[in-house]
Amino acid sequence: MDTAWNVTEFILLGLTQKQELQQIYFVLFLFFYAVTVLGNLLIIVIINQSEHLNSPMYSFLNYLCFVDICYSSVTARKPITDFLVERKTISFGGYMAQLFWSHFFGFTEIFLLTVMAYDQYIAICKLRHYTTIMIGLVCGQMVVALWVGGFLHSMVQTLLSIHLPFCGPNEIDHYFWPALSQVRLACADTYLVGIMVVENTGMISLSCFVVLIVSYVIILVSLKTHSSKGHCKTVSTCASHITVVIIFFGPCIFMYLRSSTTFSEDKMVVVFYTIITLY
What domain range is 29 assigned to?
7-276
Residue 2, pLDDT > 50, answer no
171-172: strand order across its sheet? 89-91, 9-12, 171-172
Residue 228 pLDDT grade (very low, low, confident, very high; cuts 50, 70, 90): low
Residue 1 pLDDT grade (very low, low, confident, very high; cuts 50, 70, 90): very low
Alpha helices (H) in the chain, listed in sequence order: 19-49, 56-82, 92-125, 130-133, 136-162, 179-183, 191-198, 204-222, 228-256, 266-271
Phi, psi of 223 (to 5 degrees): -70, -10
- Asked if residue 2 is part of any domain, the answer here is no
* pTM of the shown model: 0.81
If one counts the domains in the chain, the total is 1
- Asked if residue 261 is part of any domain, the answer here is yes
Q: What is the CATH number of the domain that holds 35?
A: 1.20.1070.10
Residue 55, pLDDT > 50, answer yes
- Asked if residue 1 is part of any domain, the answer here is no
In a 13 Å sphere around the CA of 102, the CA atoms on its Cβ side amount to 24
Query: In angstroms, rounded to a whole number, what is the distance separating the alpha carbons of residues 179 and 162?
Result: 10
